[in-house]
Amino acid sequence: MTKLHPTPNNNDFDWEDWKKLSKLIPEKGWVWQNFRAGSAADGSDWVEQQIYYDMLYTFRLGALSPYAKGLMNGKLMGTKCPKCGDVTFPPRVNCWNLDCKLEITDWVEMPMTGILHTFTICGFAAKSALKKLPFVLAYVLVGESKTAIANILKIDKPWHTETNMPVVVKFANEEDRVGNIIDFWFEPDPEWSPSPMNAEKERIEKLCEPVYEWVRILNR
């Protein structure tokens, strides 16, 4: 028999608990808000109507659950193909090699170290992250993984970020972990020290100045 990802019986889960949790954020659906109307300089009419719509998502992680549980326990769980041996983090629950015919992979615990492959210094980002600017988004090869994972690199002076620098994984405090990528981030390996300032680093430092200023105003 070919091994498949299990399809557990719905009765095995405690759905009632989830319903209680969902009630904490009541959904309202379509809610009328505002309107305004006028005429443009060329005489054409305009009308604007504002309608609010909210939604609460519940994502069920299925075969990826060991990854999320790993994060809650302060562990990075990757996958390894029993046929070809490829290790990937983020995990892939079936092997990516066509010759392995979607072999179901094994869970492996990843080391807490990696190499930074490439990066950017964000001067603008999504609304939820604006107050963290400027921050470094890094692509890191964790352990022997054949894939790089994107996450935040926490570093005092963002312009000192360098490709191929060694980094370590840091986890949020246990009580703050939620089983999502935001549970961890990267920091420079404590043994590592940046190369001296150069033209690019000076340029980035200068580009960051107004970002720091803008975030100071935002935080007021």
Partner 1 sequence: MPEQQQVFIAGGTTTPFDYPVNLQIEELVANTIRQLYDDIPNFHLKDVREDGMVVYSHFSVHFAHQLTSYWILHDHLGLVGVPHFRIDNGGNTGGSALYAAYALVRAGLADVVPVIGYELMGSVSQSKGSEFIAIASDTRYEAMLGANYTNYYAGLARIFMEEYGLTEEDFAEIAVKNKNNAIATGEKAQHYRKVGKKLTVDDVMGSRLISYPLKKWDCCFMSEGAATILVTNEKYAKQYSPDHYVEITGAGLSSCTIRAGDRYAFPGWTERYGEGYPGLGEFAACRHSAEVAYKMAGINWKDSHKQIDVAEVHDAFSTSEFQIYNALGWCESTTPKQFIRDKMPMMDGEIPTNPGGGLIGYGHPVGATGLMSAIECYYQLTGLVPREHKSTDNEVKDAEVGLVNSHAGTGTSISNFILKRV
What CA–CA distance (Å, rounded) separates 76 from 144? 13
Cβ atoms of residues 177 and 71 within 8 Å: yes
Cβ atoms of residues 104 and 2 within 8 Å: no
In whole angstroms, how close is the CB of 195 to partner 1 at the nearest point? Answer: 13
User: Rounded to a whole number, what is the distance in angstroms from the first to the last CA of the chain?
Assistant: 63
In whole angstroms, how close is the CB of 150 to partner 1 at the nearest point? Answer: 6
What CA–CA distance (Å, rounded) separates 98 from 218? 50
Q: Which does 179 bind (CB under 5 to 8 A by kind): partner 1, Zn ion, none?
A: none
Q: Name the residues that contact partner 1, by CB under 8 A.
A: 40, 44, 46, 53, 59, 64, 86, 88, 90, 96-98, 117-129, 132, 134, 137-139, 141, 146-152, 163, 180-182, 203-204, 207-208, 210-211
**What is the pattern of x (binds Zn ion, CB under 5 A) and - over residues 33-72?**
----------------------------------------
What CA–CA distance (Å, rounded) separates 78 from 61? 15
Binder to Zn ion among 76, 95, 153, 155 (CB under 5 A)? 95
Cβ atoms of residues 55 and 86 within 8 Å: no
Binder to Zn ion among 81, 133, 155, 165 (CB under 5 A)? 81
Q: What is the DSSP letter of 23?
A: H
Q: Is 87 in the site for Zn ion (CB under 5 A)?
A: no
Interacting residues with Zn ion (CB under 5 A): 81, 83-84, 95, 97, 100
